[in-house]
Amino acid sequence: MNHDSYSDSYIRGILNTVKTIAMVGASERANRPSYFAFKYLLERGYTMIPVNPLRTGEQILGRRIYVRLGDVPDPIDMVDIFRSSRHALPIVQEALALNPRPQVIWMQLGVRNDEAAALAEAGGVKVVMNRCPKIEYGRLSSEIAWMGVNTRTISAKKAIASGGIQRLSLNRASVSGGTTEAADAAERSERGGRRIIQARNL
Protein backbone atom coordinates (compact mmCIF):
# COMPACT_ATOMS: atom_id res chain seq x y z
CA MET A 1 0.00 0.00 0.00
CA ASN A 2 1.15 3.54 -0.75
CA HIS A 3 1.61 5.27 2.59
CA ASP A 4 2.42 8.67 1.14
CA SER A 5 -1.30 9.46 0.96
CA TYR A 6 -4.58 7.92 2.08
CA SER A 7 -8.06 8.26 0.65
CA ASP A 8 -10.76 9.77 2.84
CA SER A 9 -12.74 6.54 2.51
CA TYR A 10 -9.82 4.54 3.95
CA ILE A 11 -9.41 6.84 6.96
CA ARG A 12 -13.16 7.18 7.45
CA GLY A 13 -13.61 3.41 7.35
CA ILE A 14 -11.08 2.99 10.15
CA LEU A 15 -12.50 5.73 12.38
CA ASN A 16 -16.04 4.46 11.87
CA THR A 17 -15.09 0.86 12.67
CA VAL A 18 -12.70 0.88 15.62
CA LYS A 19 -14.06 1.31 19.13
CA THR A 20 -11.15 0.55 21.46
CA ILE A 21 -7.87 2.42 20.97
CA ALA A 22 -4.67 1.73 22.89
CA MET A 23 -2.43 4.81 22.79
CA VAL A 24 1.21 3.83 23.29
CA GLY A 25 3.12 6.78 24.68
CA ALA A 26 0.09 8.50 26.23
CA SER A 27 1.00 11.08 28.86
CA GLU A 28 -0.98 12.24 31.89
CA ARG A 29 0.57 15.72 31.54
CA ALA A 30 -2.11 18.10 30.27
CA ASN A 31 0.35 20.08 28.15
CA ARG A 32 1.45 17.10 26.05
CA PRO A 33 0.05 16.47 22.53
CA SER A 34 -0.73 12.85 23.43
CA TYR A 35 -2.93 14.05 26.29
CA PHE A 36 -4.90 16.34 23.97
CA ALA A 37 -5.40 13.56 21.42
CA PHE A 38 -6.33 11.05 24.14
CA LYS A 39 -8.91 13.38 25.70
CA TYR A 40 -10.39 14.35 22.34
CA LEU A 41 -10.93 10.76 21.20
CA LEU A 42 -12.26 9.75 24.62
CA GLU A 43 -14.86 12.54 24.47
CA ARG A 44 -15.98 11.33 21.06
CA GLY A 45 -16.96 7.93 22.36
CA TYR A 46 -13.88 5.79 21.80
CA THR A 47 -12.72 3.50 24.60
CA MET A 48 -9.23 4.83 25.23
CA ILE A 49 -6.49 2.74 26.87
CA PRO A 50 -3.24 4.51 27.83
CA VAL A 51 -0.02 2.48 27.54
CA ASN A 52 3.26 3.90 28.85
CA PRO A 53 6.05 1.90 30.52
CA LEU A 54 7.26 5.01 32.35
CA ARG A 55 3.88 5.82 33.94
CA THR A 56 2.90 2.53 35.53
CA GLY A 57 0.25 2.72 38.26
CA GLU A 58 -0.94 6.18 37.19
CA GLN A 59 -4.10 7.25 35.39
CA ILE A 60 -5.13 9.50 32.53
CA LEU A 61 -8.63 10.94 32.86
CA GLY A 62 -9.62 8.04 35.10
CA ARG A 63 -8.14 5.41 32.78
CA ARG A 64 -5.46 3.12 34.16
CA ILE A 65 -2.09 3.33 32.41
CA TYR A 66 -0.71 -0.07 31.38
CA VAL A 67 2.99 -0.84 31.06
CA ARG A 68 2.69 -2.74 27.78
CA LEU A 69 0.06 -3.80 25.26
CA GLY A 70 0.19 -7.37 26.53
CA ASP A 71 -1.04 -6.20 29.94
CA VAL A 72 -4.30 -4.82 28.56
CA PRO A 73 -7.02 -7.34 29.52
CA ASP A 74 -9.51 -6.39 26.79
CA PRO A 75 -9.31 -6.73 23.00
CA ILE A 76 -7.80 -3.72 21.21
CA ASP A 77 -9.16 -2.52 17.87
CA MET A 78 -6.45 0.02 17.11
CA VAL A 79 -2.95 0.74 18.41
CA ASP A 80 -2.08 4.44 18.20
CA ILE A 81 1.71 4.88 18.37
CA PHE A 82 2.75 8.12 20.05
CA ARG A 83 6.46 7.23 20.17
CA SER A 84 9.32 8.06 17.82
CA SER A 85 9.70 6.10 14.58
CA ARG A 86 12.48 3.87 15.94
CA HIS A 87 10.09 2.48 18.57
CA ALA A 88 7.39 1.54 16.04
CA LEU A 89 8.77 -1.88 15.05
CA PRO A 90 8.88 -3.43 18.55
CA ILE A 91 5.43 -1.97 19.29
CA VAL A 92 4.04 -3.54 16.13
CA GLN A 93 5.69 -6.85 17.01
CA GLU A 94 4.04 -6.74 20.42
CA ALA A 95 0.67 -5.83 18.87
CA LEU A 96 0.85 -8.76 16.44
CA ALA A 97 1.41 -11.11 19.37
CA LEU A 98 -1.96 -10.15 20.88
CA ASN A 99 -4.92 -12.48 20.59
CA PRO A 100 -7.05 -11.20 18.98
CA ARG A 101 -4.83 -8.94 16.92
CA PRO A 102 -5.76 -5.27 16.54
CA GLN A 103 -7.38 -4.27 13.27
CA VAL A 104 -5.26 -1.15 12.80
CA ILE A 105 -1.79 0.20 13.55
CA TRP A 106 -1.84 4.01 13.49
CA MET A 107 1.40 6.01 13.71
CA GLN A 108 1.07 9.62 14.77
CA LEU A 109 2.26 12.74 12.93
CA GLY A 110 5.99 12.53 12.31
CA VAL A 111 6.07 8.78 12.95
CA ARG A 112 6.88 6.54 9.99
CA ASN A 113 8.48 3.11 9.94
CA ASP A 114 8.05 1.23 6.66
CA GLU A 115 9.48 -1.99 8.07
CA ALA A 116 6.93 -1.97 10.87
CA ALA A 117 4.15 -1.14 8.40
CA ALA A 118 5.10 -4.03 6.10
CA LEU A 119 5.16 -6.42 9.06
CA ALA A 120 1.71 -5.30 10.21
CA GLU A 121 0.22 -5.56 6.73
CA ALA A 122 1.70 -9.01 6.29
CA GLY A 123 -0.23 -9.93 9.43
CA GLY A 124 -3.49 -8.64 7.96
CA VAL A 125 -3.51 -5.37 9.91
CA LYS A 126 -4.33 -2.00 8.33
CA VAL A 127 -1.72 0.74 8.71
CA VAL A 128 -1.77 4.54 8.80
CA MET A 129 1.46 6.52 9.21
CA ASN A 130 2.31 10.17 9.81
CA ARG A 131 -1.30 11.15 10.56
CA CYS A 132 -3.18 12.14 13.72
CA PRO A 133 -6.55 10.47 14.36
CA LYS A 134 -7.68 13.58 16.25
CA ILE A 135 -7.03 15.79 13.24
CA GLU A 136 -8.48 13.28 10.77
CA TYR A 137 -11.64 12.86 12.87
CA GLY A 138 -12.09 16.61 13.11
CA ARG A 139 -11.54 17.05 9.38
CA LEU A 140 -13.84 14.26 8.22
CA SER A 141 -16.61 15.19 10.65
CA SER A 142 -16.25 18.86 9.62
CA GLU A 143 -15.84 19.65 13.31
CA ILE A 144 -12.72 21.74 12.78
CA ALA A 145 -14.74 23.85 10.33
CA TRP A 146 -16.41 25.36 13.42
CA MET A 147 -13.12 27.21 13.94
CA GLY A 148 -13.13 28.59 10.40
CA VAL A 149 -10.99 25.88 8.81
CA ASN A 150 -12.03 24.76 5.32
CA THR A 151 -12.05 20.94 5.56
CA ARG A 152 -13.26 20.43 1.95
CA THR A 153 -15.93 18.19 3.53
CA ILE A 154 -19.63 18.91 3.06
CA SER A 155 -22.75 17.24 4.40
CA ALA A 156 -26.46 17.83 4.84
CA LYS A 157 -26.55 15.17 7.56
CA LYS A 158 -26.86 16.06 11.21
CA ALA A 159 -24.37 14.70 13.69
CA ILE A 160 -25.49 11.46 15.32
CA ALA A 161 -26.04 11.89 19.05
CA SER A 162 -25.76 8.89 21.34
CA GLY A 163 -25.76 8.62 25.11
CA GLY A 164 -24.41 12.10 25.74
CA ILE A 165 -21.11 11.29 23.98
CA GLN A 166 -20.14 13.77 21.29
CA ARG A 167 -19.70 11.44 18.32
CA LEU A 168 -20.05 13.26 15.01
CA SER A 169 -21.08 11.73 11.73
CA LEU A 170 -18.16 10.65 9.57
CA ASN A 171 -20.51 9.58 6.77
CA ARG A 172 -19.83 12.68 4.76
CA ALA A 173 -18.68 13.36 1.22
CA SER A 174 -15.35 15.09 0.66
CA VAL A 175 -14.79 17.33 -2.32
CA SER A 176 -11.57 18.13 -4.12
CA GLY A 177 -10.03 21.57 -4.21
CA GLY A 178 -9.36 24.10 -1.50
CA THR A 179 -12.57 26.13 -1.78
CA THR A 180 -16.29 25.59 -2.11
CA GLU A 181 -19.08 27.77 -3.50
CA ALA A 182 -20.33 28.45 0.02
CA ALA A 183 -16.85 29.38 1.19
CA ASP A 184 -16.43 31.74 -1.77
CA ALA A 185 -19.81 33.39 -1.02
CA ALA A 186 -18.89 33.83 2.64
CA GLU A 187 -15.57 35.39 1.68
CA ARG A 188 -17.26 37.80 -0.75
CA SER A 189 -19.75 38.79 1.95
CA GLU A 190 -16.95 39.37 4.46
CA ARG A 191 -15.04 41.53 1.97
CA GLY A 192 -18.20 43.56 1.30
CA GLY A 193 -18.72 44.09 5.02
CA ARG A 194 -15.15 45.32 5.42
CA ARG A 195 -15.62 47.82 2.56
CA ILE A 196 -18.78 49.21 4.19
CA ILE A 197 -17.01 49.65 7.52
CA GLN A 198 -14.06 51.34 5.83
CA ALA A 199 -16.40 53.71 3.93
CA ARG A 200 -18.14 54.71 7.18
CA ASN A 201 -14.80 55.47 8.79
CA LEU A 202 -13.75 57.87 5.98
- Give the pLDDT score at 175: 40
Answer whether residue 147 is part of any domain: no
Answer whether residue 104 is part of any domain: yes
Number of domains in the chain: 1
Answer whether residue 181 is part of any domain: no
Answer whether residue 88 is part of any domain: yes
- Pick the closest to residue 44 from 130, 143, 132 (CA basis): 143
Residue 48 has pLDDT above 60, yes or no: yes
Answer whether residue 63 is part of any domain: yes
Are 157 and 136 contacting, i.e. CB atoms less than 8 angstroms apart? no
Answer whether residue 185 is part of any domain: no
CA distance 118 to 63: 31
Domain of 13, CATH number, reads 3.40.50.720
pTM value is 0.74
Q: What is the mean pLDDT of the chain?
A: 81
Residue 172 has pLDDT above 90, yes or no: no
- Pick the closest to residue 121 from 136, 137, 140, 107 (CA basis): 107
Domain span holding position 64: 8-140
Q: How confident is the model at residue 68 (pLDDT cuts 50, 70, 90)?
A: very high
